[in-house]
Every structure is written in C-alpha cells, then in structure tokens.
Amino acid sequence: MVMTTLMNTYGSRSLTLVRGEGSRVWDQNGNSYLDAIAGIAVCGLGYSHPAITAAISEQAATLLHVSNLYNIPQQQHLADLLIDQSGMDRVFFSNSGAEANEAAIKIARKYGNDKGVKNPTIIVMSGSFHGRTLATLSATGNAKVQIGFEPLVEGFVRVPYDDVDAIKAAASEHANIVAILVEPIQGEGGIRIPAADYLNQLRDLCDRNEWLLMLDEIQTGNCRTGAYFAYQNNNIKPDVVTTAKGLGNGVPIGACLARGKASEVLQPGNHGTTFGGNPLACSASIAVMETLIEGNYAARVKALGEKLLSAFKTAFAGNSKVVDVRGCGLLLGIELNAPCADLVEKGRSKGILINVTSGNVVRLLPTFILTDEEVEELITKVVELVTEF
C-alpha cells in the first residue's frame, strides 16, 4: 500500500496490524505475531487489557477532555500514584516523552537562571536519545537525529556515556553547568547498561555541585527494568525524572516528576499544555499503574528478564556472531558482529516482531504478560533467527 498523502517520515511500511490481544497482534490477512517489542516499550500490559479498556470506555462516555483551567481529579489521582511509586514530590503531565523532557530542560534552565547562572548548561551523553523536538534532538547524542535541523538549541555539553571523569573534566571547563540529563540505560543507543554504581556517582556529583540529576526514564520507567523506575535499582532519587511510553500502555501520556527545590521551579505562567493530563489519558494511566502495582509486575518483569537473559546467554555461548547479550528486566539486547536490520523482516516471516537498534543490536522489549508458552516461543524464534544470521 502506497500512502502518498502521509509525510514520508517512516519510509514505506509493509505490515498492517489490525488487532491485538495479550502479547499477540494480527495483520489484515489474519497472520498472528508474537510482539517482542510491545509497540516499542509501550504496551507492557499487552493489547486489549480488560482493565485498561474498561477505564478508557468509561471515561470516554463520561468526560473526554477538560482544559487545565479546571481541576482534573484523575490527574491528581495519577500524580499521587506516581509520587507514591517514585518518592518524588510533584508531577507535570504531557502528551509524549519529548514533551516531558522539554519540561525537564525548562526546569533546569529556570533553576539556573533563578540562581543567577548565566547561560545555564546541561550535561548530556553520547549515544543518548531524548526525542525529536528541537531542544530534545539537540540534547540527543546521535548525529542522524540532528543533521539538517541546525541551528541546534544551545546550552548542552556532551560527554561520553558511563564516564564520570569526563563529567568532572567538562565541569572544570564550564562554570555554568546546572544539570545532568541521562538515561539509566540507553535504549535507542543499543541497550547500553552503565557501571552498576554510575547513577550513584552522578547523584554524588550533583549533590556536591548543586546540579539537578535529571533521568530520562521514558523507556526504562513503568516496571520495564524490574523496578517501577530504573533508579530504584541504585537506591538513589533523582531531582527530575521523565517517563512516557509504558505509562499509558498505548494512550499518549508523558510525565515530568520533580523533587525538592526542582519541584518548585515552575510557577503559574511558566509552562502549560492543552491536552496534557486530560481525563481520558489519566484514567487509562491510573488503570495501568494500578494493574502494575497490584499485580506486582516489577517482580514478574525481573524474573522473566532473568529467565530470557540466561536462556540467550546459554544459547549463544561460543557463537562467534554474537558479540554480547545484555539486559535489565525486559529491556534486552543481543549485539551481533555485523549490521542485522534484515532480521526484522525475517522475524516477521517466523511470526515474531523484533527491533534492531544501533545497526547491529537486536532489541527485545516484550510484554510483561508473556505466558510460559510465549516465553518458550520467544526464545526459540529469536535463537533461530540469530543462529541463521
């Protein structure tokens, strides 16, 4: 199907999915696929989850939208759930991940300007991904995302990921640093997992310099790594954390959470949105969060992740094409020794949806609701794919 009335941002797309249930989706010809990328880290609770469907239907029949000129009880309820899970103090709701990061970047800048720092600057990482708006693509550490959109937004200093000394060196060159913006694990960047104490060291550095530690958990949040937020694996708290993808399980919503002084930075008139935090999106997310919490999905994700990781490590031991197998919870990467984008198509013909990122990393982001049979199916099909590569 050629869709010439759509801007060509996604190239040609050969697969048309029309229905989903549990961890499976169906195309228009009735073929089914095990979705091992869950809508790119969005549908952790799978497709057509009854609690989420019910919450959306009920809210749609009651009140779809009111503006942020009025109290929105669903927004307050969802904020309370997020605060309870995160240990943060206040929440701003947006419609997407990039917008949640925009809020974080605005907080860092105003925090700096309020304390008299001229041209407040944020440290960002090589290999990072923070979104496609002008500020977030400028913060992103991937030339492909930036080329053609110059001039980029100023106020970012880039250092290598997982390198605390590089941050110290940057700080000695720039007196106007106000924050660090970093992913606890780089998702788009190839499932890069930093040293176990990286976030702890960043926390320490931020405390000593009065910088804000701002974590982009748009992909890693909402139980994806086996804790509600990935920073909980390190027993630290950031000053700002953003999330989106899994929060609405498919209904567009993002959130920027802040703590302490960072939570008081934005005041009336400083920021806003027409749709962010509307009753429909918040009702869906309340159902998502209640399901995740009551079902103790963080523990389930941790166990499922360990099972998959050890199965892949065993299967690929001694396979010279496999450079590395890594993961945290249900965020898994299999790094191959050559570009492997064509595995996506090969996967489809085997009835499984996978993703390839960074050219040579098979990225798996399955749902949290895989049955035992689906776990076996996923392992068998991915092992076959990589072995035949």
Ligand X SMILES: *Cc1c(COP(=O)(O)O)cnc(C)c1O
Q: Is 130 in the site for ligand X (CB under 6 A)?
A: yes
| Region from 4-12, 19-27, 212-220, 294-302 binding ligand X, contact rule CB under 6 A | 212-220
CB of 314 to ligand X, least distance (A): 29
CB of 129 to ligand X, least distance (A): 5
98 known ligand binder:
yes
How many residues bind ligand X (CB under 6 A)? The answer is: 15
- Indicate the residue among 86 and 219 with the shorter CB distance to ligand X: 219
- Indicate the residue among 130 and 203 with the shorter CB distance to ligand X: 130
210 known ligand binder:
no
CB of 40 to ligand X, least distance (A): 7
Q: Is 250 in the site for ligand X (CB under 6 A)?
A: no
Q: Is 218 in the site for ligand X (CB under 6 A)?
A: yes
Q: Is 189 in the site for ligand X (CB under 6 A)?
A: no
Block residue for tokens 């106007």: 176
List the one residue from 97, 184, 238, 246 that touches ligand X (CB under 6 A).
Answer: 97
List the one residue from 216, 239, 335, 374 that touches ligand X (CB under 6 A).
Answer: 216
132 known ligand binder:
yes
Q: Is 102 in the site for ligand X (CB under 6 A)?
A: no
Of the candidates 224, 207, 204, 208, the residue with the CA atom closest to the CA atom of residue 216: 224
One DSSP character per residue, 166-212 reads: HHHHHHHH-TTEEEEEE-SSBTTTTSB---TTHHHHHHHHHHHHT-E
- Write the binding mask 336 to 365 for ligand X: x where contact by CB under 6 A, - elsewhere: ------------------------------
Three-class SS of residue 18?
Answer: strand
Block residue for tokens 């798996």: 364
324 known ligand binder:
no
What is the rounded distance in angstroms from the CA atom of residue 295 to the CA atom of residue 132?
Answer: 34
Is the bond into 151 cis (omega within 30 degrees of 0)?
yes
Q: Is 93 in the site for ligand X (CB under 6 A)?
A: no
218 known ligand binder:
yes
Ranges of beta strands (E only) in the chain are: 17-21, 24-27, 32-35, 90-94, 121-125, 156-159, 177-182, 212-216, 240-243, 254-258, 322-328, 331-336, 352-353, 355-357, 361-364
293 known ligand binder:
no
Give φ, ψ of 387 to 5 degrees. -65, -40
273 known ligand binder:
yes
- Write the binding mask 53 to 92 for ligand X: x where contact by CB under 6 A, - elsewhere: ----------------------------------------
Q: Is 183 in the site for ligand X (CB under 6 A)?
A: yes
| Region from 77-85, 206-214, 215-223, 311-319 binding ligand X, contact rule CB under 6 A | 215-223
Query: Which letter does DSSP use for residue 330 in this model?
Result: T
216 known ligand binder:
yes
- Calculate Rg over the CA atoms of the chain: 21
CA distances in angstroms from 116 to 102, 121, 176, listed in the order given: 21, 13, 10
What is the rounded distance in angstroms from the CA atom of residue 141 to the CA atom of residue 304?
Answer: 31
List the one residue from 131, 184, 190, 221 that touches ligand X (CB under 6 A).
Answer: 131
| Region from 1-9, 181-189, 301-309, 364-372 binding ligand X, contact rule CB under 6 A | 181-189
Of the candidates 320, 326, 291, 323, the residue with the CA atom closest to the CA atom of residue 308: 326
CB 358 within 8 A of CB 190: yes
Three-class SS of residue 305?
Answer: helix
Binding site per annotation, positions for N(2)-acetyl-L-ornithine: 132, 273
| Binding residues for ligand X (CB under 6 A) | 96-98, 101, 129-131, 183, 187-188, 216, 218-219, 244-245
Binding site per annotation, positions for pyridoxal 5'-phosphate: 97-98, 129, 216-219, 274
